[in-house]
Amino acid sequence: MTGAVPAPTVDGRRQRSERTRQLIIEAYLALLRTKPRIPTSSEIAERAGYSVRSVFERFPDLLSLRIAATDYAVALGSAQAPLRHTDADRPTRIHSQVGTRAQVCEGWLPLWRALNANCGESAELKARIALIREAIRTRLGIMYGPELSTLDGRRRQHTLIALEAITDFESWARMREDNGLSVEQACAVWITAIDRLLPPTPAA
Amino acid sequence: MNTTADPRDGASAPQPADRIDGRRLRSERTRRLIIEAYMALVRETGTMPTAVQIAERAGYSVRSIFERFPDLTALRIAVTDHAIAEARGYGALRDLDADRPARIRSQVEQRGRTCERWLPLWRVLSSENEQSPDLHQRIRMIRQLSVMRMEMMFRPELSTTSDDVRKKTMLALEALLDFESWARMRELYDLSFEQASTVWSKAIERLLPPTPAVA
């Protein structure tokens, strides 16, 4: 025995385990995008290229996996959609916010649906839904800060609620899936609606 | 064994057709009670009930359910049809010829009441609709009925616009007046019925094109 330090082996193992965990989450998200229902553990394992046992070695149950996938998606979604053009003029801010929101809806609608389906069973999932909604409202508040600043508290809240409803995930889904609108056409619907809902922009 | 009918029974003796009608009526009643049990359970729990729960609530056996509905999807479809019929009777069009504020108020009040009454069932049905083309088709029909209603209520304003503006306005109104939009106001923001109605009314007022002057 030489007394060699075993740290690199442990680190390597941890890295492999993290990578497996990541691939399982990505497999779960990929399956949601291809099939509109919550995937089974066998499907996830097969897609990730691991055994079902490997899945449950990293996640005690499928709910934990759903929560981990949601956290991953929230982090990724936030990184993909940084706040831009907050100091620009009204049309630029509306276009910017709609463009980002459309991108989020295109990318994350299946996960959003899966998250909401049967979320009643889990306080943790409910908390994450509330967090996502809160982030959406905060973003709307920042992007349309100049216009909303002209309203009193109650009217500001009412306008934000209406903006949230108009730009909801399912609003996007109806335009794209039920009405067959292109991304550009659907964005145009939102741009027109937001412009009508917002009060006049105060003079600089 | 004497099979001759007692002449005292005379006209009151049940004829085969009467017996069949009576049986059919009982079967229809059982079917209706099963549907009502399903709806009551959804309203109370907000979740999809099991066959055992439905049977217990309706006061029948599980077998009775499956004698009338081949599976739970067929029952869900029957529940949806029942709900559509009830909602159509419930939400008759009113104030069609009234002025703009009265029409907005009428539409919002009716839609608010619909959301209050049908939100739990809507959630349960729409969460499963991808698994049944029949259910999916009914969900789309409910949406279409809601859109048609808005088109009638806001015909004066929509009649003055181009097809493009009209379509954009309808899509925005549909998103605004969605079940989950109502649910967020009531459950998440804790608004009263009147406060939530005010949010919708103000937003509709902004989204609608101007009302044309009466000739």
Q: Give a yes or no: residue A24 inside a domain.
A: yes
Query: Which pLDDT band, with edges at 50, 70 and 90, does B97 fall under?
Result: confident
pLDDT for res B14: 59
Residues B62 and B126 in one domain: no
Which residue on chain A is closest to B167 by alpha carbon? A189
Indicate whether A3 belongs to any domain: no
Cα B89 from Cα B83, distance rounded (Å)? 10
As a residue count, chain A comes to 204
Using the predicted structure, report yes or no on whether residue B107 has a pLDDT greater than 90. Answer: yes
Please provide the average confidence, as pLDDT, over all residues in chain B.
Answer: 87
Number of H helices, E strands in chain B: 10, 0
Q: Which residues of B touch A (CB under 8 A)?
A: 46-47, 127, 130-131, 140, 143, 165, 167-168, 171-172, 174-176, 178, 180-181, 184-185, 188-189, 198-200, 202-203, 206-207
Verify that A144 and A190 share a domain, yes or no: yes
Rounded to the nearest angstrom, the gap between the alpha carbon of residue A83 and the centroid of all alpha carbons in its chain is: 15
SS3 B121: helix
Q: State residue A85 phi and psi, 5-degree precision.
A: 60, 25
Residues A189 and A99 in one domain: yes
How many Å apart are CA A47 and CA A24, to the nearest integer? 8
- Using alpha carbons, select from A107, A122, A116, A123 the residue that is nearest to residue A173: A107
The backbone region for A73, taken as left when phi is positive above 0, alpha when psi lies in -120 to 50, beta otherwise, is alpha
Q: Are residues A43 and A98 in the same domain?
A: no
* Crossing angle between the packed helical segments B16-45 and B51-58, to the nearest 10 degrees: 120
* d(C-alpha B66, C-alpha B74), whole Å: 10
* Same-domain status, A105 and A190: yes
B92 lies in the same domain as B59: no
- Interface size A-B, in CB pairs within 8 Å, comes to 79
Enter the ipTM. 0.82
Candidates B205, B198, B179; CA nearest to B113 is B179
pLDDT tier, B1 (very low <50, low <70, confident <90, very high otherwise): very low
Residue B77 lies in a domain: no
Nearest to A181 by CA among B171, B173, B139, B140: B171
State which residues form the domain around A150. Answer: 71-204
Condensed to tens digits (0 to 9), the pLDDT of residues B3-30 reads: 434 444 444 565 666 666 777 888 889 9
Counted domains in chain A: 2
Q: Residue B70, SS3?
A: coil
- For a pLDDT cut of 70, what percent of chain B falls above it? 88
If you ran DSSP here, which 8-state letter would residue B59 be given? T
Residues of A within 8 A of B185 (CB-CB) are 161
- Summarised one tens digit per residue, pLDDT across range A77-105 is 888 888 889 999 999 999 999 999 999 99
Inspect the interface and report whether the beta carbons of B143 and A174 lie closer than 8 Å.
yes
B166: pLDDT strictly greater than 50:
yes
Residues A36 and A110 in one domain: no
- Tokens, residue B114: 């619909």
Q: Among residues B10, B40, B69, which one ends one of the domains?
A: B69
Domain count, chain B: 2
What domain range is B41 assigned to?
23-69
Chain A residues lying within 8 Å of B176, measured CB to CB: 162, 165-166
Closest CA to B181 of A76, A170, A189: A170
Tell me, yes or no, whether A150 lies in a domain.
yes
Cβ within 8 Å, pair B172-A193: yes
Q: Which residues touch B165 (CB under 8 Å, ≥6 apart)?
A: A192, B209
Residue with tokens 């949806």: B80
B89 shares a domain with B65: no
Whole-prediction pTM:
0.82
Alpha helices in A81-203 (DSSP H): 90-116, 123-143, 145-148, 153-166, 169-173, 183-197
- Residues A57 and B129: their CA atoms lie apart, in Å, by 33
A193 contacts A101 by C-beta, under 8 angstroms: no
Per-residue pLDDT for chain A (204 aa), expressed as one digit of tens each?
444 555 666 678 788 888 999 999 999 999 988 887 788 999 999 999 999 999 999 999 988 998 999 999 888 888 888 888 999 999 999 999 999 999 999 988 988 888 887 666 688 888 888 889 999 999 999 999 999 999 999 999 999 999 999 999 999 999 999 899 999 999 999 999 999 999 999 987
> φ, ψ for residue A179 (rounded to 5)?
-105, -5
Contact check, Cβ <8 Å, A193/B168: yes
Is there a single domain that holds both residue B132 and residue B178? yes
B-chain residues within 8 Å CB-CB of A117? 127
At residue B169, the pLDDT reads: 96
The answer to whether residues B150 and B91 touch, using CB atoms and an 8 Å cutoff, is: no
Q: Which residues of B touch A159 (CB under 8 A)?
A: 203
In a shared domain, residues B96 and B44: no
Residue B114 and residue B184 share a domain: yes
| Assigned domain for A65 exists | no
- The structure tokens listed for B6 are 């007692």
CA distance A191 to B165: 12
Q: Confirm if B25 and B17 have CB atoms less than 8 A apart.
A: no
Mean pLDDT of B36-58: 92
The domain that holds B60 is classified in CATH as 1.10.10
Q: Are B89 and B180 found together in one domain?
A: yes
Same domain (yes/no): B147, B204: yes
pLDDT tens, A158-172?
999 999 999 999 999
Q: Give the distance from residue B206's alpha carbon to the nearest chain A alpha carbon, in angstroms.
A: 6
pLDDT tens digits for range B204-214: 999 999 999 87
Q: Are B207 and B137 members of one domain?
A: yes
Question: For position A17, which CATH number holds?
Answer: 1.10.10
Whether A134 and A182 share a structural domain: yes
| pLDDT value of position A123 | 87
The verdict on B125 and B160 lying in the same domain is: yes
Alpha-carbon distance of A20 to B54, in angstroms, equals 43
Q: What is the predicted pLDDT for the residue at B59?
A: 93
Which of B127, B176, B185, B189 would best serve as a mutation to test chain A binding (most A beta carbons within 10 A)? Answer: B176
The arithmetic mean of pLDDT across residues B72-99, rounded, is 86
B175 pLDDT higher than 50: yes
Q: Does residue B145 fall inside a structural domain? A: yes
- What the block records as the tokens of A100 is 């980002």
